[in-house]
Amino acid sequence: MNNADPHFSEMLTEQGVRPPYSSYETWFSEQDSSRLAKKARDAEAFFRRTGITFNVYGQADAQERLIPFDLVPRILSGSEWLKLSKGIEQRVRAVNAFLHDIYNRQEILRAGIVPIDLIANNEAFLPQMIDFSPPGNVFTHIVGTDIVRTGEDEFFVLEDNARTPSGVSYMLENRETMLQMFPELFSKIKVQPVSDYPKNLRRSLAASAPQSCSGHPCVAVLTPGIHNSAYFEHSFLADQMGVELVEGHDLRVVDGHIAMRTTRGYKVIDVLYRRVDDDYLDPLSFNPTSMLGVAGIMDVYRAGNVTIANAPGTGVADDKAVYSYIPDIIEFYTGERAILKNVETHRCAEPDALKYVLDNLADLVVKEVHGSGGYGMLVGPAANKRELAAFAAKLKARPANYIAQPTLSLSTVPIFTKKGLSPRHVDLRPFAMVSPGGIEITPGGLTRVALKAGSLVVNSSQGGGTKDTWVLED
């Protein structure tokens, strides 16, 4: 893989300011730094007042934290976004086709494109979904695709989030914050809006209602509760969509449907946007100790009387070993070459790959195949000898649990610091909504930024922050 310049700057090059940033840079150069510093403090106060927080698991001080917000936007031109959105749509379409196939005819397995063992032995593959097609054949109603950039025209998909992708509330609140702080900027620079996301999401979910639904579909958001790290987002989206936020104890099976308790009795739900993991969704089908889901919901689902978004079993498409086959999956189902490239991936389950990874551990990023949030990973160049040795032992003990990738030279975008603008590495998570009628991708997405100089880890759980993402109307 031909990486571009070690630190491609999305704002500044040797030739000067890149075109997408030219109007912003002109505005920024005219600003008083003390005013901007006050705006940064105002933004933090707004986030704290609004309650935009998240929880960090597995740490002694696992209290709610504020996600740092940086007031310098990440800006993409309309033409850059066009390429990205076409690539995301192609990918999402192929992932949906793949999920439908592996739970039904399994043609891709019979064709030998994806190894049978990779699916059959996959903890995210749900036998309960075999021979089942959800309404409209939509498995992934909401997809968050993580994208990194290494050069002017070099974009790579880092991973697919097809289970319960989070972060869209931060995308919306980041924009709202920028609009409040710098209204004059948006009159000077034409930025595509993101505020329609909740309305579009509700419409997309309603369009995915089961055939048994008569009249206007009832949509609800299922949350594990206030102690979940993304609870703010669950309540935020329910409120913005104008639908009920429910927990498992609010729901029951009534006459073969899922119904929620109301002051007027039980009301049937047609579409349940669930933010509860598969294992906790139905104690009769999965984890019998779960108190978070609804007993019997899988029977109602398979009978065609409720839509669960995203569908149970979609996690197999999030598997980082399956990810390595996505270019082949795209070609198999669409007949096209992948528009967006994958990052070169070594599957540690394969003996030759494992040997290579162990020999080059200090230069690689190693991830758990089912990992998320930056947990359980090794960034080789940032690890010491003791950490490398400990991780090598993990790899040897459970090689199939890991994949490894080269350390990419992620692009940088400036952040605002006390000393002025300073470059930091970023990634991007655009959000796609899928319904039987098509795929809609919100222009922009969530830009996550590594706030430590030189760091490549952008996850909020690992100390990263967020930025507003602008897609220009050009």
**pLDDT tens sequence across 22-81:** 999 999 999 998 999 999 888 888 887 776 655 544 444 445 567 789 999 999 999 999
Distance of alpha carbon 48 from alpha carbon 36, whole angstroms? 18
Residues 300 and 223 in one domain: yes
Range of the domain at 384: 345-407
Residue 379 placed within a domain: yes
Domain of residue 391, CATH code: 3.30.1490.270
Residues 349 and 300 in one domain: no
Residues 299 and 350 in one domain: no
The candidate with the shortest Cα–Cα distance to 164, out of 247, 273, 252, is 273
Last residue of a domain, one of 245, 276, 305: 305
Q: Please state the domain count of the chain.
A: 2
Residue 370 placed within a domain: yes
Last residue of a domain, one of 365, 392, 407: 407
The burial class, CB within 10 Å (0-12 / 13-18 / 19+), for 311 is buried
Residue 251 placed within a domain: yes
pTM of the model: 0.92
Distance of alpha carbon 148 from alpha carbon 155, whole angstroms? 6
Residue 257 placed within a domain: yes
Cα of first residue to Cα of last residue in the chain, in angstroms, is 31
Percent of the chain, pLDDT > 90?
Answer: 78
Q: What is the dihedral of CA 299, 305, 306, 310, to 10 degrees?
A: 70
Residue 467 placed within a domain: no
Last residue of a domain, one of 277, 305, 333: 305
Q: What is the pLDDT of residues 380-420, one digit of tens each?
A: 888 899 999 999 999 999 999 899 999 888 999 999 988 88
Assigned token pair, 46: 């707004």
Distance of alpha carbon 311 from alpha carbon 306, whole angstroms? 11
Question: Do residues 415 and 421 make contact, with C-beta atoms less than 8 angstroms apart?
Answer: yes
Domain of residue 216, CATH code: 3.40.50.11290
Residues 357 and 294 in one domain: no
Residues 219 and 301 in one domain: yes
Residues 267 and 349 in one domain: no
The helix (H) or strand (E) run that includes residue 143 is strand 142-151
pLDDT, one tens digit for every residue, the chain (474 residues): 333 446 899 999 888 999 999 999 999 999 998 999 999 888 888 887 776 655 544 444 445 567 789 999 999 999 999 999 999 999 999 999 999 999 999 999 999 999 999 999 999 999 999 999 999 999 999 999 999 999 999 999 998 999 989 999 999 999 999 999 999 999 999 999 999 999 999 999 999 999 999 889 999 999 999 988 889 899 999 999 999 999 999 999 999 999 999 999 999 999 999 999 999 999 999 999 999 999 999 999 999 999 999 999 999 999 889 999 999 999 999 999 999 999 999 999 999 999 999 999 999 999 988 766 556 788 888 889 999 999 999 999 999 989 999 988 899 999 998 888 999 999 999 999 999 999 999 999 999 998 888 777 777 666 688 999 999 997
Distance of alpha carbon 6 from alpha carbon 150, whole angstroms? 8
Other residues' Cβ atoms within 10 Å of the Cβ of residue 268: 18
Other residues' Cβ atoms within 10 Å of the Cβ of residue 143: 28
Residue 89 placed within a domain: no
Residue 325 amino acid letter: Y
Distance of alpha carbon 21 from alpha carbon 10, whole angstroms? 8
Residue 390 placed within a domain: yes
Whose structure tokens read 């917000």? 69
Residue 261 placed within a domain: yes
Residues 300 and 358 in one domain: no
Residues 273 and 354 in one domain: no
